[in-house]
Structure 1
């Protein structure tokens, strides 16, 4: 408690020092004052006394702290932010998937492929952020390598695609403001789910249906998709591909379509089986900012509708 009081008493003056961007406390014994600086220089280091309020100081070069914008170019980028094929607008990167030890980026087919009903693409470039958000060929982060073709006259279970990243250094496995999934699960009616996406960030919605078949308007064609999760509305355009988790941080699916009142989600089980992949998971939750628990506080039930469009 004494260390916390020292920090609170000093932080206003410390943060006024040019080049200092933060102050914190270590968890070591004895505790140390961590002084975060944008760039560590001998001149700046001299401005920070070795002892303040009876606590030793440690100067850490952190860089400049900036708010994470889901539509910005981020390196490395987390899951749940803007991404897209070079010839589309923008969608959301879902999760990191693993197959035979190789990592892939997972999103919707209509995010990673200009025409998800096609069997081939001329260009395979996937950029972060998506082109609508300023992404250019210089922002390429991977190549689309596989997608489940959506057939207008057939039965479809998923709108999903895989991209092979250019490097593991380009991304992190955390879902922005949520964490890394700890497993995979199926859901039940009335359960509250959470998604993290490019446009609307972290939102929640109650499950209304776990075995829906809907007609989806893809602009140039329509298709029926089956065995879907339907929730209250929790997504907008650009949220396609958003990862969805339950309250225990289990990956349950990808947002892919929505209407004025509802959101449609492809089930994780159907996606992983289609590609023979696994979701990258951790043995325990990693939560950021308490966003998950706050969203579970409440959710309003909405009435149903029928026609849906990809987000």
Structure 2
């Protein structure tokens, strides 16, 4: 319907809801006398919208739809969204603690590594259950570890000890001198270790990972990491070849086809954020695995962050991204 018509219908229904007796409200637990119904406009084409109806409970649909004729009902976008609460991002201090169930963004590491970030959860055809996704240099100690080694949460730098074991290193992509595509590793969860794959700031990410060739410059992105928490940035370059990363004294590996990100306010990432999954702000599509960065440069002087295309990580290690528990 035309946007002006929708606004008139929205105003009419709002008046009816405000005049409805309390006994007409079906939703239980709606606080402060709220009806449990929100109304808005959902664009569908230039100048055309649907009436957006957002419900605390499915049963409340009758309170709105019962007042509409058949023609109007075809122009309504009804969704049950449940309780609405402020979205609070975890602080770095919270992300560095021992956390159960495991959630994205928390401290994790091989016993010989300081600490990195648990980026998210994946599955692999030859392994039962969920696997933790992070970097080789976080879970596999930059090729120095062996499959079967323990993984700790939190990492040793945050007080993690053998008692904080949560999984077993299962697979990692070894480094070569030049032409690396990913810095990635996975660890299978130990029996009894619970995880919540959907617990990103703002809720679950999309299950579909953005293809590497669809990652575009200028996209707004986000991540949650052990050191800087929940940050926002912008993709400033894609398909970046020859990124030299220093993994130790005199040890440099170069990477091709990488994603560059700058923070919108200050640094997008700092040491310890390695392993974070990066997602697109517009639709929450996961697109990158953060693995390195600089502390200077960039348009705002806060350095730049580099990430492997997440689709490449999944392909190389034979993984599937898990968005929900």
| TM-score of the two chains, using structure 1 as the length reference | 0.67
For 2:143 and 2:168, the matched residues in 1 are separated by 18
Q: Provide, for residues 81-100 of structure 1, a one-character-per-residue CA deviation record: whole Å limited to 9, x for no partner.
A: 11111111000001111122
Superposed CA RMSD in Å reads: 2.6
More strand per residue: 1 or 2? 1
Native 8 Å contact 1:108 1:241 kept in 2: yes
Shift of 1:27: 5.9
- Number of the residue aligned with 1:279: 321
Specify which of 185, 189, 194 is matched with residue 217 of structure 2.
189
Specify which of 203, 209, 214 is matched with residue 231 of structure 2.
203
| TM-score of the two chains, using structure 2 as the length reference | 0.64
For 1:176 and 1:133, the matched residues in 2 are separated by 21
Q: List gaps (5 residues or longer) in structure 1.
A: 8-25, 31-65, 287-311
Q: Provide, for residues 256-295 of structure 1, a one-character-per-residue CA deviation record: whole Å limited to 9, x for no partner.
A: 001021000111111011111110135xxx9xxxxxxxxx
- Number of the residue aligned with 2:279: 245
Native 8 Å contact 2:147 2:169 kept in 1: no
Shift of 1:215: 0.5
Q: List gaps (5 residues or longer) in structure 2.
A: 1-17, 23-29, 35-55, 61-89, 296-302
Q: Are residues 97 and 262 of structure 1, via their aligned partners in 2, closer, same or farther at CA, if it must alter by over 3 Å?
A: same
SS at match of 1:85: coil
Q: Are residues 194 and 215 of structure 1, via their aligned partners in 2, closer, same or farther at CA, if it must alter by over 3 Å?
A: same
Q: Provide, for residues 62-89 of structure 1, a one-character-per-residue CA deviation record: whole Å limited to 9, x for no partner.
A: xxxx988100101112111111111110
What count of residue pairs does the alignment treat as equivalent? 227
Native 8 Å contact 2:129 2:189 kept in 1: no
- Number of the residue aligned with 1:301: none
SS at match of 1:270: helix
After superposition, where does 1:1-311 map in structure 2 within 5 Å? 4-5=31-32, 69-100=94-125, 102-114=129-141, 116-118=142-144, 120-121=145-146, 124-151=149-176, 153-167=177-191, 169-182=193-206, 183-185=208-210, 186-213=214-241, 214-220=243-249, 221-233=251-263, 234-247=268-281, 248-260=283-295, 261-282=303-324
